[in-house]
A and B are shown apart, each in its own frame.
Chain A
């Protein structure tokens, strides 16, 4: 599985959109982009995934560039409860040895 690069930390004001970038320049054609988040001392929680099209669900939106070398997770109206570490990973469908990097620590401030 390809590696990803994310900023170490980001701040966001409550109620504003949080845009979390991820670089995955070595992604291959059969690898999906997944986003998870981990609230302190809990297990990571699945947020969203995509292959090449933009995706949206009740939690977030995922924007993948046309060349698939980067993506952005968007939390449209961040709340204090969105403060967490966000992991961007790339993974072959059915793959087992997924690499979780250090992620981005998002601080949502009142």
Chain B
């Protein structure tokens, strides 16, 4: 079945360390997104990518970096510059032609700084 796979499901990081969250999709979608969700709150856009080798900052990009070397993959790096990285991170994708149907989301990665 097609879908989005995020890994790992749970991630623990020491302060000052960079960590990379994986997002892979086999839906042949053009666009991919990273959102952050804090407890009891909505989703905030970190980065998005419309096509391979291109990406744009969302509303809260500071302290994060991304790459889009392949259509299927959109990894997110949480750097040591991110002041409060503990959160639930969601990856999503949407197709160019079918974008009207919105997003397909992964199951998320819960990052905890210890």
Q: Which residues of A contact B (CB under 8 A)?
A: 32, 34, 36, 41-46, 49, 87, 91, 93-94, 96-103
Additional 18 contacts, C-beta under 8 A, given A44-B105, A98-B103? A41-B88, A41-B108, A43-B4, A43-B107, A46-B101, A46-B103, A46-B104, A87-B42, A94-B99, A94-B100, A96-B33, A96-B56, A97-B45, A99-B42, A100-B42, A100-B44, A102-B40, A103-B42
B50 at the interface (CB under 8 A from A): yes
Q: DSSP majority for the A interface?
A: loop
Q: How far is the CB of B23 from chain A (nearest CB, A)?
A: 11
Q: 5 closest Cβ contacts across the A-B interface?
A: A43-B105, A100-B43, A100-B42, A101-B42, A102-B42
**Cβ–Cβ contact B107 & A42, under 8 A:** yes
**Cβ–Cβ contact B107 & A96, under 8 A:** no
Provide 27 A-B residue pairs closer than 8 Å at the C-beta atoms, listed in order of the A residue.
Answer: A34-B102, A36-B102, A41-B88, A42-B108, A43-B105, A43-B108, A44-B43, A44-B90, A44-B103, A46-B103, A49-B100, A49-B102, A87-B42, A91-B102, A93-B99, A93-B100, A94-B96, A94-B99, A94-B100, A96-B48, A97-B45, A97-B48, A98-B103, A99-B42, A102-B40, A102-B41, A102-B42
Q: Which of B33, B43, B45 has the most CB of A within 10 A?
A: B43
